[in-house]
Copies of this chain bind each other. A is one copy, B any other.
């Protein structure tokens, strides 16, 4: 069956029945920005809104993949259907093949209550912001009770993606100087639950103490009743603490529901998703605006800016004016 010939409605129906291949196919359609993207989005819409979205981030080397793996196990024991979206910055060398730690996730490869998908970010700023929510909607419509979105949480864009989750877990580990590094990366701000992994190592107590101090500093600036992020120690490589993490997620969910925060977050997530699509569409138009016959406006404007003939703000005005619309 050719990609163009795919019946989107039928694919969505099969995904809703839990057929992994249909789910994978739908995610490919949204990730590749296929011509059927809009049909897919339309067919998914009525079936979304069920899944609980958990973001999971932290600096490299902290044990994110292992923690995700263990968390999936704990959620499965609780009877949940689970989706995993692993957002990895693309590597031109490997196309992702270097990500050997991903194989650990294969614990769940044969479990038909688990969907696992790696997302490439395709090297442009809006990439993840745009593709991840679409893939999330596929897993939601496919009946996942929980979707885990895992990212390398060190860049601003990755942080934005996980911060759109219902609940965001920030993983740290002792002995990485990660108190200050995490603060640099701004990931403390987005944490609903802190997980201190490798808690059996030297320095775990110091990491927890530093975290508590930083949380207390951060809280001073807020007003009104706010959620105080708990700190959960784990040893993911031994499976220790996973149930505590699940409990912390549930506690956060209950707090959000009783404070009206869950709806508010989901509306912010949708707003951000709509905005990302709109910006992407406008960006596409901007790059391909033609002036006259075969002259693209952006390259010629760029030359004039390099030459100092026009400043970039005037050039941007000219570009937007070309949009017409």
Interfacial residues, chain A to chain B (CB-CB below 8 A): 37-38, 41-42, 44-49, 59-61, 88-94, 98-100, 121, 123-129, 133-134, 137, 152, 154-160, 177, 180-181, 183-186, 188-189, 214, 217-218, 221, 263, 266-268, 270-271, 273-275, 277-279, 281-283, 286-287, 298-299, 301-303, 305-316, 319-320, 323-325
**Which of A279, A282, A287, A312: most chain B CB closer than 10 A?**
A312
The reply to whether A302 and B268 form a contact with Cβ atoms under 8 Å apart is yes
CB contact under 8 A between A47 and B308, given known A217-B93, A313-B37:
yes
The reply to whether A89 and B314 form a contact with Cβ atoms under 8 Å apart is no
List chain B residues, Cβ under 8 A from A315.
270, 274, 277
List chain B residues, Cβ under 8 A from A181.
60-61
> What is the minimal beta-carbon distance from A56 to any residue of chain B, in angstroms?
16
10 nearest A-B pairs in the assembled complex, by CB-CB distance: A155-B155, A271-B302, A277-B316, A154-B154, A41-B311, A270-B302, A270-B305, A45-B311, A278-B316, A92-B189
What are 22 sample pairs from A and B whose C-beta atoms fall under 8 A apart? A38-B314, A41-B314, A60-B177, A60-B185, A89-B155, A91-B189, A92-B186, A92-B218, A124-B160, A125-B129, A125-B157, A155-B157, A155-B159, A263-B306, A268-B302, A270-B302, A270-B306, A271-B301, A274-B301, A275-B298, A277-B315, A278-B286
> What is the minimal beta-carbon distance from A261 to any residue of chain B, in angstroms?
14
> What is the minimal beta-carbon distance from A283 to any residue of chain B, in angstroms?
6
The reply to whether A126 and B123 form a contact with Cβ atoms under 8 Å apart is no
> What is the minimal beta-carbon distance from A153 to any residue of chain B, in angstroms?
9
The reply to whether B274 and A160 form a contact with Cβ atoms under 8 Å apart is no
List chain B residues, Cβ under 8 A from A47.
308
List chain B residues, Cβ under 8 A from A214.
93
With A and B bound together, what is the CA distance between A48 and B306 in angstroms?
8
List chain B residues, Cβ under 8 A from A281.
316, 320
List chain B residues, Cβ under 8 A from A324.
325
CB contact under 8 A between A221 and B125, given known A37-B313, A308-B47, A313-B38:
no
The reply to whether B157 and A49 form a contact with Cβ atoms under 8 Å apart is no
> What is the minimal beta-carbon distance from A174 to any residue of chain B, in angstroms?
15
List chain B residues, Cβ under 8 A from A156.
89, 121, 123-125, 127-128, 155, 157-158
With A and B bound together, what is the CA distance between A155 and B278 in angstroms?
23
The reply to whether A184 and B41 form a contact with Cβ atoms under 8 Å apart is no
The reply to whether B274 and A302 form a contact with Cβ atoms under 8 Å apart is yes
List chain B residues, Cβ under 8 A from A308.
45-49
With A and B bound together, what is the CA distance between A126 and B312 in angstroms?
16
With A and B bound together, what is the CA distance between A297 and B287 in angstroms?
26
Given contacts A267-B302, A281-B320, 20 further A-B contacts (CB under 8 A): A45-B310, A47-B308, A49-B306, A49-B308, A61-B177, A89-B155, A91-B189, A125-B157, A128-B156, A134-B312, A152-B185, A270-B305, A271-B301, A274-B298, A274-B301, A274-B305, A274-B312, A279-B283, A320-B325, A323-B325
